[in-house]
Amino acid sequence: AQTVTQSQPEMSVQEAETVTLSCTYDTSESNYYLFWYKQPPSRQMILVIRQEAYKQQNATENRFSVNFQKAAKSFSLKISDSQLGDTAMYFCAFMENSNSGYALNFGKGTSLLVTP
């Protein structure tokens, strides 16, 4: 069963604007990690941001920040001052210590298009 849900298959934003990508997940664990990965047309999966579940403070990496709501099991990604190079597929992913080792559970992705 899919444990990571990205409800927006496609989104579009104008250059310099702010966009928020949604992600919800399901787990009964208390110790887990959340990630956002970016996959541009070149196909290389690039780590955008990482969040530790036991930390209440939202992670931030330059123009990228998250809104982590542990009780609601929500982990959205905010991109500020969008740039053309942000055009990519974005995947939310979840890691817990399970029968699948340290594997990532991925959402189905959100395709983001940044327009001039």
User: Which residues contribute to the site for other proteins (CB under 8 A)?
Assistant: 4, 9, 33, 35, 37, 42-45, 47, 50, 52, 91, 95, 97, 99-104, 106-109
Whether the CB-CB separation of 13 and 115 falls below 8 Å is answered with yes
Question: What does the alpha-carbon distance between residue 116 and residue 105 come to, in Å, rounded to a whole number?
Answer: 33
Q: How far is the CB of 92 from other proteins (least distance, A)?
A: 9
Q: Are strands 88-96 and 105-106 parallel, antiparallel or unpaired?
A: antiparallel
Q: How far is the CB of 107 from other proteins (least distance, A)?
A: 6
Tokens of 101: 């080792």
Looking at beta carbons only, is 83 or 98 nearer to other proteins? 98
Looking at beta carbons only, is 40 or 83 nearer to other proteins? 40
Residue 91 pairs in a beta bridge with: 37
Looking at beta carbons only, is 64 or 106 nearer to other proteins? 106
Q: Is 23 helix (H, G, I), strand (E, B) or coil?
A: coil
Q: How far is the CB of 71 from other proteins (least distance, A)?
A: 21
